[in-house]
Every structure is written in C-alpha cells, then in structure tokens.
Chain A
Amino acid sequence: MPKAVSILFGALFTVAVAYSLGALLLQRLRAPFRREERPLFAFAAGSALLGLVMFLLASLQVVRDGVLLIAGAATIGAAWKLGAFKPEGDRLPALPRTWAWLYWSLYGIFAVICVLHAMAPETSPDGSGYHLGVVAHYYRAHGFVKLTSNMYANLSQGVEMLFLHAWAFGRHSAAALVHCAFLLCLPMLLLRYGQRTGFPQAGAAAGLFVLLSPVMMKDGSSAYIDAALACALFALFYLCEIDAPPALAGVLAGACYAMKYTAFLALVYVMIRYALKRRWRALAVIIPVALVMILPWVARNWIWFGNPFSPLMNAWFPNPYVHVSFEQDYAAEMRNYAGLTSYWQLPMELTVGGGVLGGLLGPLFLLSPLALLALRSGAGRRTLAAGLLFALPFGLNVGTRFLIPALPFVSFALAAGLPSITLPALVAAHALLSFPDIPQRYCAPYTWRIAEIPFRAALRMESEESWLSWKLPQYRTARMIEQATGPGAVVFSFTPISDSYTSREIMVGFQSARGELIRDFILTAFMPDYQPVNQLEFTFLRQSIKAVRVVHTAASGPADSRDILSIGEFRLSSRGLPVEPSPDWRLEARPNPWDVQLAFDNNPLTRWRSWEWLRPGMYVRADFGHALTLDTVRLETSLDQYSARLRVDGQAETGEWKTLATEPVSTGLPPPLGLRRAAMEEIRRRGVTHILVHEGDTGWEDFRQKAGLWGIREAGAVDGVRLYRID
C-alpha cells in the first residue's frame, strides 16, 4: 500500500500547491467570486501559475524533491497564513433538491471510478509514451534538457510541468491523478456557471454530460492534457461571462496556449470578447499577462530549436530539428484515420462507434444538433460561439479527443436548449450507457474507454509490475531495454514505445529530423529504391565557372507530388577526369542546408534530401572560391523521386548565373554492396548504440536473418520485439 500513499501524496500535494497559488492570486486581485466558485478558479488559475513556476525551476535545473517540497509547503503555509483559504463571497442560488441528489450521487460514483482509473498504473499510449517520457527525462536531469530526438518535447508543456511536480513524489499515477483533478473540476465549473446564470439544472446536467462521456473519463484519468485544456477554456469563458478581473483572464488565456498550441484560440477569443465591448484598458492588462504565460515556451523553442513554434511551422522557421516533410505528412495523416472512408461516418463514429477515431463521446451526443436550440438566448449564442471556436482544431485532427475542448460548451448549450424536464432522464440514460463496461455492448471492440474499475491495481494490492506486464506489451519492451542496455544507451526504434518506463533515450524514426535521417540510412541499406542506382549526367560546353548549382524545376508530375528531392553524390568532371572537392569550396542547399555535405562525402549510403515535398527552386550548390573549368556534372540519385526534374546552372566569373544543361543522360548504376554494415557504422557515429525492431517493421526479417551483414548482435527479445546492439 505505501506506493498508493505516495501516489496520492504526489497528486494532492501538487493540487494543494496549485490551489494555494491560485487562492493567493484571487485574494490579491480581490476577485468577486461567489463562495462556491472561488476554489474552482483558485485551482484553475493556480495550476497555470504552478506551471510557470515549474518552468522557471526547470530552466534553472533545480527540480529536486527537496526544493519542490519546501517551496510547496511554503506556498501552502503562506496562503494559509494570509487567509487566502478563508471562504468568501455570497452563495450561489441552491440547486433544487432532486437535482442536488442526482448530481452529487452520479458525480461521486463516476469520480471514484475516474480516480481509481487514474491511480492504476499508466497504460495510455501517449501518457506512458511521450507525455511522461519527456517528464521522466526532465526529472532525471533536474530540469529541462534539450531533446533533439523527440519533437513532442518541443511542444508547450504547461500540463507536463504539473506532471513533473507530481512525478517527483508519485510518478506516473500521481501525474494522471493531477489530470483527473481537472476532469473533476470541470463539471463543477459547469454546475456553478449554471447556478450563476440562472440555469442551475442545465449546469448540473451539462456537468454530468461531460463527466460521464466515455472518452472524457478515459482521457481525463490518464496522463493526457485534453481534460485540463477543456477545464481551462471553460474557466476562461466563465470569467469573460462574469466580467472577472482582466488579469485573471490573461493568466488563463496564456495558460491555454501553454497547455497546447492550438489553444492560442483562447487568447483570440478573449481579445474578441473584450474588443467587441471596447474594453481596451482591460485588453491592455490581458495581453501582457497572457504573454507572460506564453513567451517562456516561445523563447525556449526559439533559443534551442531556432523555431519559436517547434515542432510546427518549420517551413516558416527552417531548422535542423524537425523536417518540413514530417509536418506535411503528419498534417495529412491526422485528417485521415485508417477506417474513415467518408466524413459522413463521423457522427456515429464520434458518439457510438469509437473504434476508428480513438474513443466515443457517448450516444447522448447524437442529440448535439439540438444544442442549436440554445441560440434562442444570448447566453446560449455566446456558449455555442465559444464551442465552435474551440472546436476548430478538430479540422486538423479528427480524433475524438480533439473535440474535448468544445465538449463543455456543446453540453451546456444542449442542456440549456432542451426542456428541463427531459434532463434527468437524459442524465440517467447517459450514466447507464457510459458506466464501465456497458459501452462494450454498442461500441467497436477495443475502443479507447474505461473498460473496468481497477480497484486492486489502483491501491497497489496487485503488483504494478505484473499489472503493467499484462496490460501493456510496450511496458515489457521498455523493461527489456532497461535490462539489456547500460546507462547512456541510445536506442533507435521504428515504432514508439512506452518510454516513460525506461531511462534510456529512445529515438523513434519519425519523431525528429535526427531520427528520420537515421531511419533513412537504415532503409537505404536494403531498399533498392532508396539506393544510388541512377546516374544523371549533365554535359555542357567546357567553360570556366566559379560555382555550379543543380535546381529542381517545375515538376512534370502531379502538382501535389509528395516526392522528396535527394542527391546521393554530386560529382564534377572535366574532359573525363574527376574534379575532387577542395577545402576552398563552399556547399549550400535550400531547403535543408544542414545535410548538404552528405551529397559530397563519397558515401553511397548517405544522401542530401530536401525533406520537403518537391517545389520549384530547390537546389544544391557548390561555390569553388575561384574559377574551375568544367564540362560535366554527374548526380548519383535514387529512384524514389519520379517527379524530380533538374537543370544545372553555372556562375560565370562575372557573377552572372546561366543554365548550362537541362536534359541529363540517365544510366543505371549497380546497387552498392556492404551498405548494411555501412549503415550501422554511420548511425553508431551519430550516437545510436542499439536498434529496436518490432515484428512487422520494415525489414524486420532482414535484421533477423542477416545480423552478421549488419554487424549487429541480438541483445534482448520479448513479444516479437528484438533489441540489437551495434557492434
């Protein structure tokens, strides 16, 4: 049982520190809240402040248990001493007795379910993967560490900062419980909003609509961030509705961005609201305060990654850490889930199916169109407008949980728009249809939801190790890596794993520019289309030039070609004799200048790639420093760029550029031998010590059958996953 105690301590201590900070802020601002509202806003605003404090501590590399304990205790003590915990304010109108009974009994039952689920060992994919994997790295390093192998570490991490605080004392489950605190706060915010605005029954119903939603329960009781964001967004909306102190709105608006980039819409929302009311002086407070919450994340990324909005907007802020093509491919994938053949499937998939989009809202939300009935009132229109705005990111990623930020608004509008006599029945039906595991009777198999109440696992009456080994195959993989490698090992993997359960650096192929380059080396070793088997020879009149460039011209293929331009080797010659590169030369490429040397290293394994879908004007250039006499440019290229069309330009001694050749002669080259070992040598040189291969990964059989050719040795295996050490 002691582990359960540390989990509860980690979570409750974090919540208490957040609450204390918030209470101090509300006291300072003399925020005119009602008695029941004050604790909720103290938690919401205080969480934002605690996230900022943790950012500072992580920047100073002083995230240690003792520091957090002392600082936290001091904060709680200060809040208590200054009377910040004293209940203040008038009471809200009471909830009708029947509703009070209905609300609190259902809230209590489902809250217990969610708390137990949160306390159970973390098995969620993103939670046990990058959310807590990055947190674990920070904790071990006592603060921020520049992780160039994981683009998720570049995102704003306001919630992860709270996870970091909780992790110090209770690890994974404490972090999940902190997220659960937001899940449990949100229905109460909805209830209080309903009471404040004269819609007590609608507020109570809306709170239960949200809490009882299967995807909300699952997400909110895992180490994700969506429920926290929904809570912060609704709290912000609430503040705008009751005309709370602008500084508070600024804190929450900025905190929303700090939680998730797409929630910059929160700042847009609050600016629109205040601008419409011509509250310029309020805006003059809101914007700077919001920027205090936002700019630390922007600055960190700008300084570390050369891109203030990393891992997004890489075309605007080119950098060597995240490829533009990754972002292009990722954006396209997030709008198209496997199994989603038409957007007409969305209503049923989102509400009842859940298998394709990763979760279900619940059958109740088939009634969502009836939320339009709320348009009859001003409050309803404002609620729906906010919901519509915060639902916009769903267009970028159609997974169910990306509708969570809009859920409280739709829920309130639905409850306010329907006749109140219908609400108890709807709540009861929603509760029945969402109770674990009633959804298995109607949703798709393996839909992401709470399928059981893990009482024994939550209280650690069952071993965490055996629970995780049973529930989470990736846990077994992570433990195998931990046992089979030493400290400092860097493991390349084609597929993400639950890396919060290992202390080794896991470099997943698609998660960074570095990872993509490593993956390219490996795939080139055995995939013929990636190998330099095609030579393009450009010949021109022998002449004196001081620089040469190869430029991709307009593609003759489809305008939406997703080919990536690449050059394996860039060779020059005159009268049949090669002109070898000299130290005077200067090499440049656009895009992706950082890899240009790979086209001049005489290594058949490596190649410069544009890492951006083909567009006219991409080039690789060599400046000689002085004039050279040339008549031939030979490019050794791969076959995976059918839409590429190249020309060669030369720069005369006058500085003027002119086209030298446009129609190359193409000849085949023999596929190089020995590439497998060359690939392992190359990636070893770049710091990778091991390779993790899952059955089904590209080339998994090749690794197993030709380990000798690769120069690798099996270091561990579990469940069809093999770990190889690079000799």
Chain B
Amino acid sequence: MKRAWPALCCMLLGGCVKYPEPYRPPERRQPLELREPVRLGHFTAMNSPHAPDHLVSDVLPELHDGAWRWTMQCPTFQFQLPVTRAMRLLADITVPDITFNQTGPVKITVHVSGHPLGTIEVLKPGQLQWEKDVPADWLITARPVLVRLAIDKMWTSPDDGTRRGFIITRLGFVQ
C-alpha cells in the first residue's frame, strides 16, 4: 500500500479530469471559393476523378500507382480560374532514373497562355516541386487558361522504341 500510494494519487487526480461533453456540429462556413467538385478547376492532381478534364494533349491517360501519369514531349493542360490576382503555377513532376540515365539533365519550359513563364532545370533524377508567380494580365477567368510544359529531350525505350517525356503528379494554380 505504501508503494502504491503515489500511483493512487495520480489515478485519483487523473480521475478528476473533466473531458467536455460531446459537441454539436458547428455552424457550417461558406468557404471563399467553391468547394463543390467542379469538372474544370484551378488545379488538379492526376489521381483526381476530374483530372482528365484538365488534359488537353500529350498526356497519357493511364494512371500509375494511383497517383501519376506519363507525358509526351509537350503536355498541355487547361484550367478554369475564379480569380487572376496573385496566382502561382505549381508543378509536381518527376524525372525518374530510367529516363534520366539516358537523357541526362533536361529542361522543361513552361508557358502560360502562350507566355513563357520559366524553365524547370532538372539536374538530377527524382521528384521536384516547381512554383512561379504568374502575372495577372496573362490570366483570364472568362475561359480556360492553357498551360504547356515542353521537355527538351525525350526518353526512347531501347526495347520497343516507346517514347516518354516526364512524370506529372500535380499541376495548377495556387495563391
């Protein structure tokens, strides 16, 4: 009993812990932007059910590992923007070992609405996330905005001549 009393004290004290009663659901906020699943949005992940609506050309339809797609040389995407101010383009891409070992370092030029935004320089294989501010006057809300990524060197399979550009996981506009 003498040895148990410190633990007993803590248990007694702990037994006096008051958890709150379960809560009612709160007032539901109206978010600043529409959160219902729209077909064409400002951003897409390749594993989103609405991703195909954002693909214009040069993106292969098959989804790998439930997360990414292969591109060809000049994949083009479209996005519908609710606003144009203070937007950044974010691209989550991968240049895997298998293609890098053949092509070496690659450059991917990025165009938004036909304007050159910048170049992604891939100096080593792997995943990278690239972001850049987009001038507001390049963007419009009235119709979809086109984003084109063009890789300078493609990989060619030595077995069957299949060609691939790079891997895309996520792409779109963020603030």
Q: Is A669 an interface residue (CB 8 A)?
A: yes
> What's the minimum C-beta distance from B12 to chain A, rounded to whole angstroms?
11
B32 A677 Cβ-Cβ under 8 A: yes
The answer, among A317, A597, A675, for a CB contact under 8 Å with B175, is A675
A602 B14 Cβ-Cβ under 8 A: no
Determine the distance from Cα of A640 to Cα of B33 in the docked complex, in whole angstroms.
Answer: 23
> What's the minimum C-beta distance from B50 to chain A, rounded to whole angstroms?
9
Determine the distance from Cα of A196 to Cα of B19 in the docked complex, in whole angstroms.
Answer: 55
Which residues of chain B come closer than 8 Å to A708, judged between CB atoms? 86
Which residues of chain B come closer than 8 Å to A582, judged between CB atoms? 25
> What's the minimum C-beta distance from B34 to chain A, rounded to whole angstroms?
9
User: Given that A674-B31, A678-B31, A709-B86 are known contacts, is A596 also in contact with B43, CB under 8 Å in the complex?
Assistant: no
User: Given that A673-B82, A675-B175, A709-B175 are known contacts, is A583 also in contact with B25, CB under 8 Å in the complex?
Assistant: yes
Q: Is A308 an interface residue (CB 8 A)?
A: yes
Q: Is A676 an interface residue (CB 8 A)?
A: yes
> What's the minimum C-beta distance from B45 to chain A, rounded to whole angstroms?
2
The answer, among B23, B32, B90, B175, for a CB contact under 8 Å with A586, is B23
Q: Is A594 an interface residue (CB 8 A)?
A: yes
A670 B172 Cβ-Cβ under 8 A: yes
User: Given that A667-B45, A671-B174, A674-B175 are known contacts, is A585 also in contact with B20, CB under 8 Å in the complex?
Assistant: no
Q: Is A665 an interface residue (CB 8 A)?
A: yes
Which residues of chain A come closer than 8 Å to B27, judged between CB atoms? 601
Contact with B along A302-320 (1 / 0, CB 8 A): 1000101000000011100
The answer, among A604, A666, A667, A673, for a CB contact under 8 Å with B42, is A673
Closest A-chain residue to B43, C-beta based?
Answer: A670
Q: Is B161 an interface residue (CB 8 A)?
A: no
B23 A706 Cβ-Cβ under 8 A: no
Residues 634-679 of A at the B interface (beta carbon under 8 Å): 665-678
Pick the most buried of B18, B44, B174: most chain A CB atoms within 10 A of its CB.
B174
Which residues of chain A come closer than 8 Å to B174, judged between CB atoms? 528, 671, 673
Determine the distance from Cα of A520 to Cα of B34 in the docked complex, in whole angstroms.
Answer: 22
Q: Is B28 an interface residue (CB 8 A)?
A: yes
Interface size on B, residues (CB 8 A): 42
Determine the distance from Cα of A302 to Cα of B14 in the docked complex, in whole angstroms.
Answer: 11
Which residues of chain A come closer than 8 Å to B23, judged between CB atoms? 586-588, 593, 596-597
> What's the minimum C-beta distance from A113 to chain B, rounded to whole angstroms?
45
Q: Is B26 an interface residue (CB 8 A)?
A: yes
Residues 43-61 of B at the A interface (beta carbon under 8 Å): 43-49
How many chain A residues sit at the interface, stated as a range, is 35 or more
The answer, among B22, B29, B48, B170, for a CB contact under 8 Å with A602, is B29
Contact with B along A494-531 (1 / 0, CB 8 A): 00000000000000000000000000000000101000
A528 B29 Cβ-Cβ under 8 A: no
Determine the distance from Cα of A705 to Cα of B45 in the docked complex, in whole angstroms.
Answer: 28
Q: Is A483 an interface residue (CB 8 A)?
A: no
Which residues of chain A come closer than 8 Å to B142, judged between CB atoms? none
Determine the distance from Cα of A424 to Cα of B65 in the docked complex, in whole angstroms.
Answer: 77
A601 B29 Cβ-Cβ under 8 A: yes
Which residues of chain B come closer than 8 Å to A669, judged between CB atoms? 45, 48
Which residues of chain B come closer than 8 Å to A455, judged between CB atoms? none
The answer, among B14, B18, B22, for a CB contact under 8 Å with A588, is B22
Determine the distance from Cα of A670 to Cα of B46 in the docked complex, in whole angstroms.
Answer: 11
Determine the distance from Cα of A676 to Cα of B30 in the docked complex, in whole angstroms.
Answer: 15
Closest A-chain residue to B170, C-beta based?
Answer: A668
A668 B90 Cβ-Cβ under 8 A: no
The answer, among A317, A603, A709, for a CB contact under 8 Å with B29, is A603
Q: Is B1 an interface residue (CB 8 A)?
A: no
User: Given that A316-B14, A583-B25, A709-B86 are known contacts, is A672 also in contact with B20, CB under 8 Å in the complex?
Assistant: no
Q: Is B35 an interface residue (CB 8 A)?
A: yes
User: Given that A603-B31, A665-B66, A675-B175 are known contacts, is A585 also in contact with B25, CB under 8 Å in the complex?
Assistant: yes
The answer, among B19, B29, B35, B86, for a CB contact under 8 Å with A593, is B19
The answer, among B17, B22, B48, B86, for a CB contact under 8 Å with A706, is B86
Q: Is A581 an interface residue (CB 8 A)?
A: yes
Contact with B along A701-727 (1 / 0, CB 8 A): 000001011000000000000000000
A597 B32 Cβ-Cβ under 8 A: no
Determine the distance from Cα of A677 to Cα of B46 in the docked complex, in whole angstroms.
Answer: 28
Which residues of chain A come closer than 8 Å to B14, judged between CB atoms? 316-317
Which residues of chain B come closer than 8 Å to A623, judged between CB atoms? 22
The answer, among A594, A604, A667, for a CB contact under 8 Å with B49, is A667
Closest B-chain residue to A587, C-beta based?
Answer: B23
Contact with A along B1-25 (1 / 0, CB 8 A): 0000000001001101111101111
> What's the minimum C-beta distance from A408 to chain B, rounded to whole angstroms?
29
> What's the minimum C-beta distance from B64 to chain A, rounded to whole angstroms?
14
Which residues of chain B come closer than 8 Å to A666, judged between CB atoms? 47, 66-67
A667 B48 Cβ-Cβ under 8 A: yes
Which residues of chain A come closer than 8 Å to B31, judged between CB atoms? 602-604, 672, 674, 678
B28 A601 Cβ-Cβ under 8 A: yes
Determine the distance from Cα of A665 to Cα of B45 in the docked complex, in whole angstroms.
Answer: 14
Closest A-chain residue to B81, C-beta based?
Answer: A673
Closest B-chain residue to A595, C-beta based?
Answer: B23
Q: Is A533 an interface residue (CB 8 A)?
A: yes
Determine the distance from Cα of A302 to Cα of B12 in the docked complex, in whole angstroms.
Answer: 13
Which residues of chain B come closer than 8 Å to A603, judged between CB atoms? 29, 31
Closest A-chain residue to B175, C-beta based?
Answer: A673
> What's the minimum C-beta distance from B2 to chain A, rounded to whole angstroms?
11
B32 A318 Cβ-Cβ under 8 A: no
Q: Is A600 an interface residue (CB 8 A)?
A: yes
A318 B35 Cβ-Cβ under 8 A: no
Determine the distance from Cα of A580 to Cα of B170 in the docked complex, in whole angstroms.
Answer: 30
Determine the distance from Cα of A586 to Cα of B21 in the docked complex, in whole angstroms.
Answer: 9
Closest B-chain residue to A580, C-beta based?
Answer: B28
Which residues of chain A come closer than 8 Å to B44, judged between CB atoms? 668, 670
Q: Is B41 an interface residue (CB 8 A)?
A: yes
Closest B-chain residue to A709, C-beta based?
Answer: B86
Closest B-chain residue to A606, C-beta based?
Answer: B29
Which residues of chain A come closer than 8 Å to B123, judged between CB atoms? none
Determine the distance from Cα of A46 to Cα of B48 in the docked complex, in whole angstroms.
Answer: 71
B32 A674 Cβ-Cβ under 8 A: yes
A673 B83 Cβ-Cβ under 8 A: yes
Determine the distance from Cα of A405 to Cα of B171 in the docked complex, in whole angstroms.
Answer: 58
Contact with A along B148-173 (1 / 0, CB 8 A): 00000000000000000000011010
A672 B18 Cβ-Cβ under 8 A: no
Determine the distance from Cα of A623 to Cα of B13 in the docked complex, in whole angstroms.
Answer: 29
B46 A668 Cβ-Cβ under 8 A: yes
> What's the minimum C-beta distance from B83 to chain A, rounded to whole angstroms?
7
Closest A-chain residue to B30, C-beta based?
Answer: A602
Contact with B along A355-396 (1 / 0, CB 8 A): 000000000000000000000000000000000000000000
The answer, among B13, B25, B49, for a CB contact under 8 Å with A308, is B13
Determine the distance from Cα of A314 to Cα of B39 in the docked complex, in whole angstroms.
Answer: 46
19 new A-B contacts, CB < 8 A, other than A581-B28, A600-B28, A668-B170, are: A316-B14, A316-B17, A586-B24, A587-B24, A593-B19, A601-B29, A602-B31, A602-B35, A604-B31, A667-B47, A668-B48, A668-B67, A670-B44, A670-B45, A671-B174, A673-B33, A673-B42, A673-B174, A673-B175
* A residues with CB within 8 A of B: 302, 306, 308, 316-318, 526, 528, 533, 580-583, 585-588, 593-594, 596-598, 600-604, 623, 665-678, 706, 708-709
- Interchain Cβ contacts under 8 Å between A and B, 5 examples: A318-B19, A600-B25, A601-B29, A668-B170, A673-B82
